[in-house]
Amino acid sequence: MNQAFLPQATAAARDYDAQLDAVCQRLARRDYCLLPSEQTRNLLLADSATALDDWEAFHDSWNQLRLDNFMADGGRYRQRLHATLSAPAGARAARAEPHQPHYQSRFYNPLNGGVARHYEPIRNEILLGPTMQAVLRLGCAVFGQLSPYTPWHIEAHQYRIEAKNRQCGKPTPEGIHRDGVHFLLMMLVGRRNLVNGATELYTLEHEPLSEFTLTEPLDLALVNDERVLHGVTPVAQLDPSRDGTRDVLLLSFRRRAG
Per-residue pLDDT tens digits for 70-98: 999 999 999 999 999 999 999 999 999 99
Write down the pLDDT at residue 49.
Answer: 95
Q: Are strands 78-87 and 208-212 parallel, antiparallel or unpaired?
A: unpaired
Per-residue pLDDT tens digits for 108-148: 888 898 999 999 999 999 999 999 999 999 999 999 999 99
CB 106 within 8 A of CB 114: yes
Write down the pLDDT at residue 5.
Answer: 46
Please determine, for residue 107, whether its predicted confidence score (pLDDT) is greater than 90.
no
Q: Once rounded to an integer, what is the mean pLDDT over residues 40-44?
A: 97
> Is residue 81 a part of any domain in this protein?
yes
Q: Where are the beta strands (DSSP E) in 97-242?
A: 152-163, 183-192, 194-196, 199-203, 208-212, 220-224, 228-232, 235-237
> Is residue 117 a part of any domain in this protein?
yes
> Is residue 1 a part of any domain in this protein?
no
3-class secondary-structure state, position 112? coil
> Is residue 11 a part of any domain in this protein?
no
Tell me which of 152 and 13 has the higher pLDDT. 152
Write down the pLDDT at residue 258.
Answer: 65
Q: Find the CATH number of the domain harbouring 143.
A: 2.60.120.620
> Is residue 17 a part of any domain in this protein?
no
Position 124: which residue type?
A: N
Q: Once rounded to an integer, what is the mean pLDDT over residues 161-189?
A: 97
218: burial class by Cβ within 10 Å (0-12, 13-18, 19+)? Answer: buried
DSSP labels, 55-97: HHHHHHGGGG-EE-TT-TT----EEEEEEEEEE-TT-S--EE-
Separation between Cα atoms, residue 231 and residue 108, nearest integer Å: 12
> Is residue 238 a part of any domain in this protein?
yes
Q: Please count the structural domains in the chain.
A: 1
Question: Could you list the residue range(s) of the whole structural domain that residue 182 is in?
Answer: 31-255
> How many CA atoms lie less than 13 Å away from 111 in the CB half-sphere?
16
> Is residue 35 a part of any domain in this protein?
yes
Write down the pLDDT at residue 9.
Answer: 52
Please determine, for residue 206, whether its predicted confidence score (pLDDT) is greater than 70.
yes
> Is residue 60 a part of any domain in this protein?
yes
Of 8-22, 26-40, 68-82, give the lowest mean pLDDT range. Answer: 8-22
Write down the pLDDT at residue 13.
Answer: 74
3-class secondary-structure state, position 222? strand
